[in-house]
Amino acid sequence: MFILRWLDENIEKVIILVNYVAMAAIIFVEVIRRFLFNEQAAWSSTIPIYLFLWVCWIGCTYNVKIRAHLKFDELRTRMPYPAQFACLMLDAMLWIIFAVIVIIYSAEQVMLARDNFAIVQGTDDVLQWWFYLATPLAFSLLIFRVLQNVMYDLACYRKGEPLKVKANIFGE
């Protein structure tokens, strides 16, 4: 149970950190190699771009989780309580619809890359679909995070407690 709670709290942060450190390390090492030794790995300019897919889409999921993604806090805090709740439910519905559309079309891209054995430029055996998988996985996690927020909002609304309409990017 402890492991599940830890994963729930930290999975996005870990994925982002690992990928960001890998991107930075590859770029740093290859810049040094290029300027000091006049050599560079052929894949060093493509792998960081593919890793950025993971950083970007998992970052989107994390921002949805902490409610810091694409909303108008100042307007919502001035709305009546039922309107705040209605906006939160509208957000959830729109996020889920958007995520389902992204999952459907990005899964097609993943399958296309997998079926064609597309490899990352500059490598011999690193498959592109491993990186493209970031999009449908991240948006699946995004749906999970939206549903977690809906459950929290419903509980608060039923109890008459203040709704979480203002994001706090520095912790909860």
pLDDT for the residue numbered 168: 62
**Residue 171 in domain:** no
**Residue 165 in domain:** no
pLDDT for the residue numbered 5: 93
pLDDT for the residue numbered 74: 77
**Residue 170 in domain:** no
pLDDT for the residue numbered 170: 62
**Residue 168 in domain:** no
Q: Residue 92's Cα: distance from chain center in Å?
A: 16
**Residue 58 in domain:** yes
**Rounded-to-integer distance, Cα 58 and Cα 159, Å:** 32
**Residue 164 in domain:** no
pLDDT for the residue numbered 70: 67
Tell me which residues of the chain have a pLDDT lower than 70.
Answer: 70, 166-172
For 41-85, how does the pLDDT look when each residue is reduced to its tens digit (9 = 90+)? 999 999 999 999 999 999 999 999 988 876 777 788 888 999 999
119 has which bridge partners?
Answer: 127
pLDDT for the residue numbered 62: 94
Decide if 86 contacts 64 (C-beta within 8 A): no
**Structural domain range at position 57:** 2-159
pLDDT for the residue numbered 165: 72
Query: How many domains in the chain?
Result: 1
Give the CA angle between residues 157, 60, 19 to the nearest 5°.
140
**Residue 44 in domain:** yes
Give one word for 171, left, alpha or beta, with left for phi > 0 and alpha for psi -120 to 50: left
**Residue 66 in domain:** yes
Decide if 153 contacts 52 (C-beta within 8 A): no
Helix (H) or strand (E) holding 159: helix 134-159
